[in-house]
Amino acid sequence: GDTTYGQLSVFNEVVRLVLEAYVEPVNLDRAMAGARLGLTDALDGDSAYLDDDEVKLYNQASKDDADVGLLLSRRGPFLMVVSSRAGSPGEKAGIKAGDVIKTIDGRQSRPLSAPVGQRLLRGAPGSVVKLTLMRSGSDSVEVSLVRERAVMPSSRARVLADGNGYL
């Protein structure tokens, strides 16, 4: 059926068949973790299931952290750069939207969610993060970026003679 309970019934049957008929013993915890990841992967590149360790890593963020100015999303099996903040270490290094991140500090991006990948790019100001990038039509590229605190451009406000203002 197309109801949630109907879909869960089908899923339950698949789990039962795998447990009973798969040629080797099944690690149920691992299989269920894969199912949870698959569910959120089927939504979009920004939705993610975070396990306990990933939640702890994600929550380690500090207001004193610096970053490299890259916005990530999951596209297929890897993390992809969505944008590079103007003037950021990422932009200065030539990292562009569409670049695929293979590794962050030697850690494969394949199993990482976008929020965890984003967190791994953050760290102490002045510290270095090493990325391995894939670009269409070229071999892998290794890039070392120095984390910086983001400097937001200051806004200017002005009120015109007619009373209208702008930023």
The domain in which residue 129 lies consists of 62-146
For residue 49, being part of any structural domain is answered with no
pLDDT tens by residue, 14-23: 999 999 999 9
142 lies in the same domain as 77? yes
Determine contact, residues 133/150, Cβ cutoff 8 Å.
no
Which residue reads 């791994």 in tokens?
A: 120
10: its two tokens: 């089908």
107: its two tokens: 């850690």
For residue 20, being part of any structural domain is answered with yes
Bridge partners of 104, per DSSP, are 107, 131
27: its two tokens: 């690690």
132 lies in the same domain as 69? yes
pLDDT tens by residue, 48-65: 777 777 777 667 766 678
DSSP state, 17?
H
125: its two tokens: 């100001």
pLDDT tens by residue, 7-49: 888 889 999 999 999 999 999 988 888 888 778 777 776 677 7
For residue 84, being part of any structural domain is answered with yes
